[in-house]
Structure 1
């Protein structure tokens, strides 16, 4: 019993550390275009009127299957495989392992711990500048056309109300920040990888930004930014994000999995579903990769590096 309690406390410590590191990174990176500065709107000939800032209210959006179709880290891994960071067979292997785990839920605690320790090791020794440049390219190639227009419109609604909007995702914070900037959002909370002199060490700061870690990140950012969480809104598709959804005054289930849909109905949370028919079926397979995909990507990278 004491051993189990000790593990729970350690997981909570790592989740807290991950959340605080993510909030610090988000505050440091904040400064993306505001609604009136949105380059996409300018290119389309739209001119938004300046808005009065609402400094104590904000919105937090999960990424995978909420803001974007499928798992962002999976799209990122595809792009890295195309650039020989690891092989396509590795990519297929980790996709299958993660799908099997997410469906069956039979991954051991030891495997989870191992994945946590090895996360992002496939970029060890590479510079942040290099990965940022690659991330920009991969966004254009594989992600830009996978944004849910309905979710994007909800984010714009908050921006038009003068509120700040952050993405919250297990995806590496640098990639999350690219997605946020391209969408004209305020910034992003994501998994923080340790760096020394601008080079990745292959270790995480704390844990993956997943589950309770997301809730810690939102609280930490709210404290830094002076937000009133009761006036904030959180959006997600997954039951794994219930801790984050429960932190804010309003929660919205977007394209929810069955468990989240049930809980949303029970708690009278708003439900928005932008999937229809065949499209919803297609989203099913990528969705099983969402929360655990980062750890899966790690396995592929480690396999490549060991070869």
Structure 2
């Protein structure tokens, strides 16, 4: 049995470890804050001035995760497929992306280690390329690999929010340039995404903060809501991943779409509504939450978009 003065029980070592862990947590929080603020700033700069119907609800908005919520699979993988086709990198690197995508599809959830690997691989590929070049190529890649992978059900939910006069934003760890293209093609307001550093319009191979993932998404949405004068209690958010629980917990109307096991359990515990497009089971209809007392949507539209809980 180890004595109290053994290295295992050395108080100074334990204190040093606690300090190291606390420093890591502070650094991670700072990176999340930086990533979220950068994403919100980039989203506001890229988004056009919204046009609202006369009955539009200016205080409400909807926030949609992208991978496996709006789109089947991971947007960054489809982006890399397109870049490989254009000889940005070699077969060995494509094989790594393919493995990461296979893991993502089999697990049905994100994993921080795989997200980090995908991020580092993508950054090494775009380093030295112009932002304008990647934007132009991204338009082509959307048509080639992404357009046919949009979940029609989630797309209809986003459109319902737009029809109700609400703004709709994508919130994703994918590059903000790719996310912005997808948002524009779907007719959405804009996108919050991972911001890669560029100098003089050329990518440096570094990120601003960290990927827009997990808590960073909540930071970005809160920053955007403050800048756009949104009432988060009147807003909705949709995601498939337990990693987005901080985002879903931020709004008054959270929804689990194609949820992973952990999110499904959490959503049921919290009474959140669910929808799953991946199975043959009959899914519940969920629609735009009617803002209490707002009169933002005509009475008939409110009835048509009534929320029904999923059968358990």
What band does the TM-score fall into relative to the shorter chain? Answer: 0.7 to 0.9
SS of the counterpart of 2:165?
Answer: coil
Equivalent-residue separation in structure 1 for 2:119 and 2:78 (angstroms): 20
TM-score by length of 2: 0.78
Q: Does 1:84 align with 2:87?
A: yes
- Where in structure 1 do 4 or more consecutive aligned residues deviate above 6 Å? 111-118
TM-score by length of 1: 0.79
Question: CA-atom RMSD, angstroms?
Answer: 2.5
Equivalent-residue separation in structure 1 for 2:103 and 2:57 (angstroms): 44
Cα 1:100–1:54 change in 2 (3 A) is closer
Cα 1:56–1:254 change in 2 (3 A) is same
The runs of 5 or more residues in structure 2 that have no matched partner are 1-17, 282-312
Contact 2:80-2:97 at 8 Å conserved across structures:
no
Cα 1:118–1:94 change in 2 (3 A) is closer
Indicate which of 122, 126, 141 corresponds to 1:123: 126
1:250 Cα deviation after fit: 0.9
Indicate which of 144, 165, 188 corresponds to 2:191: 188
Q: Does 1:64 align with 2:81?
A: no
1:187 Cα deviation after fit: 0.1
Q: Does 1:153 align with 2:150?
A: no
Question: Partner of 2:200 in structure 1?
Answer: 197
Equivalent-residue separation in structure 2 for 1:151 and 1:114 (angstroms): 28
Question: Partner of 1:14 in structure 2?
Answer: 31
Cα 1:117–1:97 change in 2 (3 A) is closer
Equivalent-residue separation in structure 1 for 2:118 and 2:67 (angstroms): 20
1:32-111 residue pairs with structure 2 within 5 A?
50-96=53-99
> Which structure has greater helix proportion?
1
Equivalent-residue separation in structure 2 for 1:7 and 1:134 (angstroms): 37
Aligned length: 261
The runs of 5 or more residues in structure 1 that have no matched partner are 36-49, 279-307
Contact 1:118-1:202 at 8 Å conserved across structures:
no
SS of the counterpart of 1:184?
Answer: coil
Equivalent-residue separation in structure 1 for 2:190 and 2:49 (angstroms): 7
Question: Partner of 2:6 in structure 1?
Answer: none
Equivalent-residue separation in structure 2 for 1:259 and 1:217 (angstroms): 23
Question: Partner of 2:210 in structure 1?
Answer: 207
